[in-house]
Chain A
Amino acid sequence: MLSRVADNLYWMSRYIERAEGMARMIQVHQNLALEYAQGDEQLAWFWKPVLQSICAEEFPAGPNEIKNLVKELVFSSGYENSIYSCISLARENARMVRDQLSEELWLELNNIYLFFRNGEADEVYQQGSDLLLDRITRFSLVFQGLADATIPHGEGWRFLSLGKYLERADQTSRMLDTLNLRDKEPTRADLMSVLRCCIALSAFRQQFRGNLSLQNVACFLLFSEDFPRSIRFCIRSIDHSLHAISGVPAGAFSNEAERLTGSTLAMVNFTDWSQVQAKGLHQTLDEFQSTLIEIGQRVFETYVLLPSEIKSLGERNIAQSAQAQQQQ
């Protein structure tokens, strides 16, 4: 597969997962704010850590700005992580690899894009932001379902998986990190909102019988063996995709991306709450996020950038023909 195509598929998938995460984050917090945050000041206090975690310092939120801000997070074309931007970027990437996508997959993505472009999204938002956010979440889930059901599970599909799970792991870690950004012990509402943002509430309840504590929530989202949004699950999926792409058996590695992912997976597999506590949850999550970024870079270097030897060969060639040109 063309390197550029692999890159486009990877980013298309990441942006869609990102749009979904953003939609759910907004929806969950809007919903909980209704019960737990009365008055402007509380509202700002409630949103602050989430916004900090998602968009770093870009949105210093005053109490009155929350409403506008949420709208910005959905519609802004200037902010790269807004839902609209993510969808546009995903579609832009998809347009470059139309030949790799099934018609169903393209239609789903193009329709949500057109839905924004022709102003329908705005109308639906006026009727109630939930309606719009639901639609976006559903779009992403349908898209991912179609990707599994309508395209060959070959190399291209593996790059889709890579993008999806890297983005998802990043989001889960950011959501979990919001618990560290509160200036006091996380409340029941905080823990609930994190679980809901990761669609983990019912899965969590099954395992912990509603025993809502920071330790249980963190352990579940970090280490759950089989919950598809836990960091462990995501890293295992990344590891699996990388090995499927290279054909190298699990447990060995042929490039930096594989080595890094493999060692991170081993680390997650053999870590428990006491280690996390010793290091501090924030520090642990921070390290995860850096590792995820590095894995992304290594994937890019391995499969998209030309290995340096080839690159220099091409450049030498160019220099030679330029010379030959001048001599003519």
Chain B
Amino acid sequence: MSNPCQFDGYKTDHFFDEMFAQGESLNPRTHYEKIYQRIDRLTEKEILERRQQADSSFLEHGITFTVYGDEGGTERIFPFDLIPRVIPESEWKIIESGLRQRMLALNLFLNDIYHGRKIIKDGVIPEEIVNSSKNYRPEMVDFEPPQGVYAHICGTDLIRDEDGKYLVLEDNARCPSGASYLLENREIMKRAFPQTFGGMSVRPVEAYPDLLLRTLEYLSPRKSQKPVCVLLTPGVYNSAYFEHTFLARQMGIEIVEGKDLIAIDSCIYMRTTRGLVQVDVIYRRLDDDYLDPLVFRQESMLGVSGLMDAYLKGNVALANAVGTGVADDKVTYAYVPEMIKYYLDQDPILDNVPTYLCWRDADRSHVLANLQSLVVKAANESGGYGMLIGSHSTAKEREEFARLIEKHPREYIAQPIVSLSRHPTFCEGGISGRHVDLRPFILHGEDIEIVPGGLTRVALREGSLVVNSSQGGGSKDTWVLKDF
């Protein structure tokens, strides 16, 4: 009996498909050729085996995230799809330079906002945008962060529109997560398709933990000795806890909770079995709000009393700096192209998705009149929470959002619904197209470093545009090819 081919009956519909060029018959793009061949001739049994292997490998290794709101903090695996996303080097070069440019501009912006505010004085960005941002931290005004950098680690989400053009959807300049999946996905794929992987000259990503550690060490206030870096986690019940332990282990640094640290005379120490050890750099995976109950949320049990004091006196470095959230605010986002022009005198290499700012009267009326065809997002939320996708919403949800927008216009932005590119993905009943985005991780230490590729997230529900893990998203390995 001859095997049916896996891609039989696959349709690209009217979307931009990552693997297939538009056309009557299936026509794989050149950079996908080899992996297409390989997957097309897999038998059902082989697919099942590989999927089970991958799933149980994630579960056994405890590569799980915790779902909030679920009873007893259920641990789930982040669904993984075996068909990798492939990016040719020529495309990656453009993405890379675009991200580099954006990272520079965001850091210059943060520096400007907390010193002198030239960009506001020159009328490029309205002052109220900055002042009203929930994540603006007045404590940071006139403070010099170590090495002058604010956002050291940034995860910028990219999407592709109907024509395959890369657009920036948002910047995550606070505590972006996902790097551990990027690394683990790669390990799984190398095991699942060793020959194909080997034959395609995929650029490695394993350097990420080393680069991250170098980025952290660069910030140490004490140059006389090897810096003591730690990763500060909110604890075992945090949804990204696996990632925290994973990265700490890969970097060989301690993973600490707030209660492991203590501030004495404006220095931070960790409590060890041999007494106190001074800490130089904290890679914190904790939002500003929870860092220090003396300065931010008083009820926070996760942070360290006196941490801000030590930070502002320059005795400990934080990555990312406090107050970077003002740069990834979704309203500020709309101004990034202007920032790039203003600070770097360049045209943005990667465009934004057009954005309506609800606090502008004209924009707001447009948004309210066209809710059905827009995506509305809360300016300060992340993880796919607080979001309305007009075309997939009920009248009741739209009314609810209209009310929210009228009440808090500063809190909402809207964007046209970009029909994200699709990627062949294993689904119930065979391979079919699912929407994807891409989150590369940008590190800003002495230089800006980006490991090739990033985390490709895929919306597993048919037609869904939401790729977040908390909302039914999965992930794929991302292969950036060498010299294609």
Contacts and interface: CB of A to CB of B under 8 A. Distances in A.
B61 A103 contact: yes
Interface in A60-116: 92, 95-96, 98-99, 103, 106-107, 110-111, 114
B255 interface: yes
B276 interface: yes
A321 B60 contact: no
Given A317-B306, A318-B305, A321-B294, A1 B62 contact: no
Contacts of B235: 96
A314 B264 contact: yes
B263 interface: yes
Q: Is the interface of B mostly helix, strand, loop or mixed?
A: mixed
A150 B295 CA distance: 44
B59 interface: yes
Contact of A114 (B60, B265, B272, B295): B60
Q: Place the interface of chain A in its size category.
A: 20 to 34
B260 interface: yes
B254 interface: yes
A317 B263 contact: yes
Contacts of A96: 235-236
A98 B276 contact: no
B62 A110 contact: yes
A98 B273 contact: no
Nearest to B233: A96
Contacts of B351: none
B270 A321 contact: no
Interface stretch (B87-95, B241-249, B456-464): B241-249
Given A2-B256, A98-B245, A110-B62, A314 B263 contact: yes
A314 B262 contact: yes
B262 A310 contact: yes
A325 B259 contact: no
B306 A318 contact: yes
B262 A95 contact: no
Contact of B273 (A99, A155, A314): A155
A140 to B, nearest CB: 18
Contacts of A322: 294
A92 B236 contact: yes
A1 B60 contact: no
B294 A107 contact: no
B264 A106 contact: no
B71 to A, nearest CB: 13
A90 B265 CA distance: 37
Contact of B59 (A99, A114, A314, A318): A114
Contacts of B236: 92, 95-96
A6 B235 CA distance: 16
Contacts of A103: 61
A122 to B, nearest CB: 18
A3 interface: yes
A278 interface: no
A245 interface: yes
A99 B60 contact: no
Interface in A1-25: 1-6
Given A2-B271, A318-B306, A306 B262 contact: yes
**Residue from the set B248, B257, B272 with the largest chain A CB neighbour count within 10 Å:** B272
A306 to B, nearest CB: 6
Contacts of A324: 309
**Residue from the set A6, A103, A314 with the largest chain B CB neighbour count within 10 Å:** A314
Contacts, number: 81
A98 B259 CA distance: 18
A95 B62 contact: yes
Given A99-B245, A321-B294, A322-B294, A3 B62 contact: no
Q: Place the interface of chain B in its size category.
A: 20 to 34
Contact of A4 (B257, B264, B306, B309): B257
A106 B257 CA distance: 21
Contact of B271 (A3, A111, A114, A318): A3
Contacts of B306: 314, 317-318, 321
Contacts of B272: 1-3
A114 B76 CA distance: 12
Nearest to B262: A314
Given A321-B294, A325-B295, A98 B256 contact: no
Contacts of B265: 317
A313 interface: yes
A310 B241 CA distance: 29
Nearest to A117: B75
Interface in A260-309: 303-304, 306
A165 B169 CA distance: 56
B390 to A, nearest CB: 40
Contacts of B260: 2-4
Interface string B387-398: 000000000000
A4 B235 CA distance: 12
Contacts of B249: 98-99
A95 B276 CA distance: 24
Interface string B53-69: 00000011110000000
A306 B271 CA distance: 7
B305 A3 contact: no
B282 to A, nearest CB: 14
Contacts of A5: 254
B62 A325 contact: no
A99 B248 contact: yes
A6 B262 CA distance: 17
Nearest to A3: B271
A262 to B, nearest CB: 19
B294 A3 contact: no
A96 B62 CA distance: 12
6 contacts: A2-B254, A98-B62, A98-B245, A99-B245, A106-B61, A107-B60
Given A310-B275, A314-B264, 4 more contacts: A3-B271, A4-B259, A98-B249, A325-B295
Interface of B: 59-62, 235-236, 241, 245-246, 248-249, 254-257, 259-260, 262-265, 270-276, 294-295, 305-306, 309
Interface of A: 1-6, 92, 95-96, 98-99, 103, 106-107, 110-111, 114, 155, 245, 303-304, 306, 310, 313-314, 317-318, 321-322, 324-325
